[in-house]
């Protein structure tokens, strides 16, 4: 092989091979980033579920004891009317919590911001 052949730029097939190799490398890099972010989201989601389950259990016990106390104390004054009043209060609180949970889900805290930003920049660069 002479000096001229060594300095000559690669041909079309070799260039396409390099582009394909770089594209595969870029794709693997993005997949690794997505896998790392998904692992982080999974860990946060597991912690959230565990904390939520404990909070629901303990909150349920507290709510039952508080409700029994209120019914016992108010029964002498207003009788059975305390039961629909407490039901209405619980219903309003439940509706408020459902609306709050929907707002949390819409805020996008379980999304993959870094991966999506990288994929968007890749798409913009290719287009």
Give 55's pLDDT tier (boundaries 50, 70, 90). Answer: very high
Nearest by Cα to 125 from 22, 51, 44: 22
**Average pLDDT across the chain, whole number:** 83
Q: What is the DSSP string of 43-66?
A: HHHHHHHHHHHHHHHHHHHHHHHH
Q: Is the pLDDT of residue 6 over 70?
A: no
Contacts of 110 (CB under 8 A, 6+ apart): 41, 44, 45
pLDDT 10s digits, 62-117:
989 999 999 999 999 999 999 999 999 999 999 999 999 888 888 876 667 777 77
Question: What is the pTM (predicted TM-score) of this model?
Answer: 0.44
Nearest by Cα to 34 from 113, 125, 126: 113
Give 5's pLDDT tier (boundaries 50, 70, 90). Answer: low
């Amino acid at each position: 092989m002479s000096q001229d052949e060594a300095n000559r730029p690669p041909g079309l097939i070799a260039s396409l091979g390099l582009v394909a190799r770089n594209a595969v490398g870029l794709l693997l890099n993005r997949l690794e980033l997505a896998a790392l972010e998904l692992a982080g989201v999974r860990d946060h989601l597991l912690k959230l579920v565990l904390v939520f389950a404990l909070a629901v259990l303990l909150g349920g016990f507290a709510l039952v004891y508080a409700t029994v106390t209120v019914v016992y104390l108010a029964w002498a004054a207003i009788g059975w009317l305390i039961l629909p009043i407490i039901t209405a209060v619980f219903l309003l609180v439940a509706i408020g919590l459902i609306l709050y949970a929907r707002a949390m889900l819409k805020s996008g805290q379980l999304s993959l911001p870094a991966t999506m930003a990288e994929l968007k920049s890749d798409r913009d660069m290719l287009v």
